[in-house]
Amino acid sequence: PSQLRPHCLAWDRLKLWFPLTTRVATGSDRKFLAITEDNLERVLVVMNLSWAVGTRECYGAGLLVFHVFCDKRRIPEDQHCPMDTRTLLNFVSSCAGSYSGKTLGNYVYAVKAWHTPHGQPWSIQQDQLKAALDGAVKLTPASSKREKRAPFSIKLILEIRSHLDLRTLRDAAVYACLTSAFYTLCRLGELTVKSMIAFNPTKHVKRSNVEFNTEDRHQFHVTKIFLPCTKVSATGDHVHWAQQSDLMDPKAALLHHLAVNNPSADGHLFAWRH
């Protein structure tokens, strides 16, 4: 254990795990700047928010694996950061075959991201790193590989519908969410929450975010849904779908859900009573 790496949640490790050398209130001439320790802490907090919570969680897991590797190899703290190309290649090659290439790539990006808020340079030979990561992809263990799945299609969703009972409150909400996700081409995570207690009205879609009978930029009649936060935009974005003439109609599915579940204006759009 190290005092530089206190016990904390994964999404806080980028901020709370410090390298031996970190951002200080002195300039290149070693003269003290008009910056307090509180100012430096504020910089760290703000920069940490540049990554989404899910990304910070992933990076936190990567940092843990990296530091376990360093501790087992007895690599001195001052060699953890700033990172040397040879140490990073040693980390990648040691983990290759135990993790998927994609996971290992994310762990490398985690180490790089860790340098940023703490004001440390990232001077890595990118051609060597790319070669190592490409090799790691080829060594991905079979247990980490999955066959590609067929994309969602109208036929598949209608098959799912045949197994739902839209008279039940949960299935009505599920089908409304599914058809809206399909026709807006948005990520399911942008229309759902991980648990009931995870709902945040400033980040998750609400009933009040829906606008029926509006027009898109081509003057087509659509229903517009505002997503307060998306994977690529912390300030949110609008998505649209148009009414369909079959059982896949997202408008009919959403109106049915709203009629039977009646979520509050500030409640999650696809919440159901239970």
pLDDT one-digit tens code per residue, 117-176: 898 999 999 999 999 999 999 999 988 888 888 899 999 999 999 999 999 999 999 999
Q: State the Cα–Cα distance between residues 204 and 61, nearest whole angstrom.
A: 25
- pLDDT at 28 (0 to 100): 57
Residue 44: its pLDDT value, please?
Answer: 81
Residue spans of the chain under pLDDT 70: 1, 23-37
pLDDT at 231: 81
Q: What is the pLDDT of residue 195?
A: 87
Token readout for 61 is 């897991």
Task: Tell me the DSSP string of 44-84.
Answer: HHHHHTTS-HHHHHHHHHHHHHHHHHHHHTT--GGGTSSPP
Per-residue pLDDT tens over the stretch 95-112: 999 999 999 999 999 999
In the sheet with 221-227, reading across from the earlier edge strand, the strands are 210-215, 221-227, 237-241
pLDDT of residue 182: 97
